[in-house]
Amino acid sequence: MERRTFLQQGTLAGISALTFGAAATAGAADTQQPAAAGKPFNLDYAPHAGMFKNSGGEDFLDQIRFMHDQGFRSIEDNGMLKRDKALQNKIGDLLARLNMRMGVFVIDGGDNWKVSLTTGKQEFLDVFLKTCEASVELAKRVNAKWATVVPGYFERKLPIGVQTGHVIDALRRGSEILEKGGLTMVLEPLSDNPDLFMRTSDQTYMLCRAVNSPSCKILYDIYHMQRNEGQLIANIDLCWSEIAYIQIGDNPGRKEPGTGEINYRNVFKHLYNKGYKGVMGMEHGNAKPGKEGEQALIQAYRDADNFR
């Protein structure tokens, strides 16, 4: 073989080998990416309906499938109680097949902020208890373990101690119903409106201790508590024995972690180290629109969850 021919063939063989190697590497990356994207998180974050509608489609069931593909293992749905029973059953069946958990829905007897248990009025108590009964039935269909309760507005004509007593009495009655159905109400102190009766974690802790039921615990919403009291990790520790559920939202803006001032990686690490195994509800909006925004949201959770 002539030297020139040998060199040409050697060069072509080298190029071919490099091309094949690059293709193989790219192929491996392509096959590894979906697995990495679908890897479960360290904590159990729960998206809600509509959060991934651009990527998963308009159908909530398809959105749940998409959530699972991205590594999420729970959902939450505030409005589940008002959904059609047939859809509730489908959601429950799908969650069971995917081995996903149902997070909170709201025990909502209409406008649950204005149906205020602080008043002591029988009409409001009746609505609350009736909704607790309906919630137990819903929980069976979707295998729910937690449901959000907000006691309502201040009744400013009454002393604060009397209002508190009315709320405790109502929550005790509700807990009796929920205990039988294996459902836990999680009381959520909020920052949306200064007229709301329940606003801080220590106040909610006191209510839970007074009710003294395994079906009455705290929903610690990090967004609301950052706005109302700060000292997130310290207050989580103080109220830890009564916290059964946690929700997420950065502040300001109430969007995904990394869009505001909260050091979510540290907060998540603290919860993980404390042994928290519950659901972490993603009760916030998307910072950016469209599929790109949804992918950015997922990446934000991957970043904040990268604490080990």
pLDDT at 204: 98
**What are the phi and psi torsion angles at 146 (to 5°)?**
-135, 145
- The CA distance from 85 to 65, in Å, is 20
pLDDT at 9: 46
- The CA distance from 114 to 197, in Å, is 11
- The CA distance from 51 to 55, in Å, is 9
98 Cβ neighbours under 8 A, 6+ residues apart: 64, 65, 68
Radius of gyration (Cα) for the chain, nearest Å? 25
- The CA distance from 48 to 285, in Å, is 10
For residue 60, is it left (φ>0), alpha (ψ between -120 and 50) or beta? alpha
| Predicted confidence pLDDT, tens digits, the chain (308 residues) | 443 443 344 444 443 443 434 443 344 333 334 345 689 999 999 999 999 999 999 999 999 999 999 999 999 999 999 999 999 999 999 999 999 999 999 998 766 567 799 999 999 999 999 999 999 999 999 999 999 999 999 999 999 999 999 999 999 999 999 999 999 999 999 999 999 999 999 999 999 999 999 999 999 999 999 999 999 999 999 999 999 999 999 999 999 999 999 999 999 999 999 999 999 999 999 999 999 999 999 999 999 999 98
The beta-carbon contacts of 62-67 under 8 Å, at least 24 apart in sequence, are: 64/91, 64/94, 64/95, 64/98, 64/100, 65/94, 65/98, 67/100
What's the pLDDT tens digit per position in 60-114? 999 999 999 999 999 999 999 999 999 999 999 999 999 999 999 999 876 656 7
pLDDT at 291: 98
